[in-house]
Structure 1
């Protein structure tokens, strides 16, 4: 990680990513943007049993949307589903079990969902992980990459046919401002060369990859509206468990999970978001730059193409 990038990013974060940053930005929000009725529209949210995913599920259910919760743990997922139904009065909340680090399972899930007769208007790729040691899945994939990058890629591309059947289909990828500290490295996607392994850097690389993926999807699938976003520094179970030292230092400045989820909800529901060009990166309902000034973090078209080709190639190994 460049010392320059990390220093500039942290100063930027203190100003923009904290609770006070959200409060400042929210003064410019148009409340009418979310005065919508989502009845008749279906939303799939990965990692929907806690944190930002759960807050987004609650907000969408409150607007009458059909919610498909995609969760790794059935017990915690069902507890969250019951809570969402109780809080919103919306009975149209459904739970699906899926581990986003297992590509074969993702292919099967997407195939079954496509063939079920269900519709899908919006896919919210929210599930993610930050594993702080280099850990391989049972498929031999580095776990951060498998979950954050490859899993997102497979689910998104496999559900495109279903999304394109609907009016104003959308895909939102929950990325992170931490990606600003990284230039994408397409020669070591699974961190075999990273010595020593650093989970924070691996996560930031994944989040940079997600932003590039969003831009590439927008070109590849023009009938679907794509966006990625940064939720800010929010107080979520994932932050507490994966970044305990950061949480302890920043806990009094962190946004609530609801504040972190605000832009996800806005991107999912509002006409204002859909009118923005496809492929942009958002922070607090506003498209923002994907690179810090003078940070030398931009990727060439060839590097972006290499990422997508590698993802397709790895994914194909697990397609039945």
Structure 2
């Protein structure tokens, strides 16, 4: 089954996820969708100092939006901020230092942010990591799960009350087409059993993001949720985590700006706001979250069980 799944995914990838596929899809884009001012609107972007996150921050800064860059590395973040301010002429760019894999610190950051700032229109969950081997954080949680799933869950849930007070709130999560080869698994969230394959753990985390988005959309109807696949993008993260893939596909990979296009469209366009909440997007279109005949669908019961487990783990690691 997984051989079929992986083969079907690769064929889909070559036809839909490459730079040429973006150029082809972009012929259908409506240019005026992005001809909007974001002055007076606040955006939080995690992983905003490189790759897709940085390209997104730059695009929104150029539209006049207030940008909160949430990054792990202070030097890289400040350098990226300086470039964004210089190129966009927008000084309303703020750096916040946070590692999403440090669960208690995510709680603390979100609470402090709510105390300091009066509004947040858009949250863009972009930061992510692929681990080459199983590692745990200071709280004993597997790092890939902590960064890609739990950290996003805590940050999003914590900021919902602030976002509900802001006009037209939206949450966008940058997932991956890799999730198409994975069915939601709730029995081994921290990869404690079996061989640790970092790429497959990442793909499972990305499937979990899709289910999380669907479930949060159902429970929070005043906020527009979406999750998306940026395509295969040439970023430092891809080069570091998947060197063989990066080498063999380098000429076909999208630029960070191309990868960020649908993120920006989901964040700022009126058109995106008219789409149903909780859906999965690729190149500005709603697409299926499953390959045909791939047996990756989970039941509503499994989805709810996953959300209950997330909530329990999050509460356990809440600062007292």
What band does the TM-score fall into relative to the shorter chain? over 0.9
Report the secondary structure of 2:251's partner residue.
coil
* Residue 289 of structure 2: aligned partner: 290
Task: State the alpha-carbon separation in 2 of the partners of residues 292 and 74 from structure 1.
Answer: 40
Q: Secondary structure at the match of 1:217?
A: helix
Could you tell me which residue of structure 2 aligns to residue 317 of structure 1? 316
Structure-1 residue corresponding to 2:234: 235
- Match in the other structure for 2:22: 22
1:162 equivalent in structure 2: 162
What is aligned with 2:268? 269
Q: Which runs of 4+ in 1 moved over 3 A?
A: none
Q: Which runs of structure 2 are paired with 1:116-131 in the superposition (5 Å)? A: 116-131=116-131
Shift of 1:196: 1.7
* Residue matched to 1:70: 70
Q: Distance in 1 between matches of 2:103 and 2:165?
A: 24
Deviations 1:122-159, CA, capped at 9 Å, x for gaps: 00000000001011111111110000000000000000
Q: Quote the offset at 1:319 in angstroms.
A: 1.2
Name the CA distance, whole Å, in 2 between partners of 1:24 and 1:59: 21
Secondary structure at the aligned position of 1:227 is classed as strand
SS at match of 1:251: helix
- Structure 2 matches for 1:255-266, cutoff 5 A? 255-266=254-265
Instruction: Give 1:285 shift.
Output: 0.2
Q: How does 1:184-195 map to 2 (within 5 A)?
A: 184-193=184-193, 195=194
Partner in structure 2 of residue 84 of structure 1 = 84
The whole-number CA distance in structure 2 between the counterparts of 1:138 and 1:301 is 33
Q: 2:267 aligns to what SS in structure 1?
A: helix
Q: Distance in 1 between matches of 2:118 and 2:49?
A: 21
The 5 Å alignment of 1:24-63 reads 24-63=24-63
In the other structure, the counterpart of 1:247 is: 246
Asked if 1:101 corresponds to 2:101, the answer is yes
What is the Cα deviation at residue 118 of structure 1? 3.3
- The alpha-carbon deviation at position 167 of structure 1 amounts to 1.5
> Counterparts of 2:62 and 2:93 in 1: how far apart (Å)?
11
After TM superposition, the structure 1 = structure 2 runs for residues 108-187 of structure 1, keeping only pairs within 5 Å, are 108-187=108-187
Partner of 2:10: 10
- Give the Cα–Cα distance (whole angstroms) in 1 for the partners of residues 183 and 192 of structure 2: 17
Name 2:199's counterpart in structure 1.
200
What is the deviation of 1:259?
A: 0.2
Q: CA deviation at 1:317?
A: 1.1
Q: Secondary structure at the match of 2:227?
A: strand
Unaligned runs of at least 5 residues, structure 2: none
- Within 1, Cα distance between the matches of 2:192 and 2:197? 11
Q: How far off is 1:117 after superposition?
A: 3.2
CA distance in 1, matches of 2:290, 2:132: 25
Distance 1:131 1:52 in 2: 19
SS of alignment partner, residue 252 of structure 2: coil
Q: Whole-Å Cα distance in 2 between the matches of residues 54 and 188 of structure 1?
A: 33
Counterpart of 1:304? 303
Alignment coverage as a number of residue pairs: 319
User: For each residue in 1:269-304, what CA deviation from the matched residue of structure 2 results, as whole angstroms up to 9, or x when unmatched?
Assistant: 000000000000000000000000000000000110
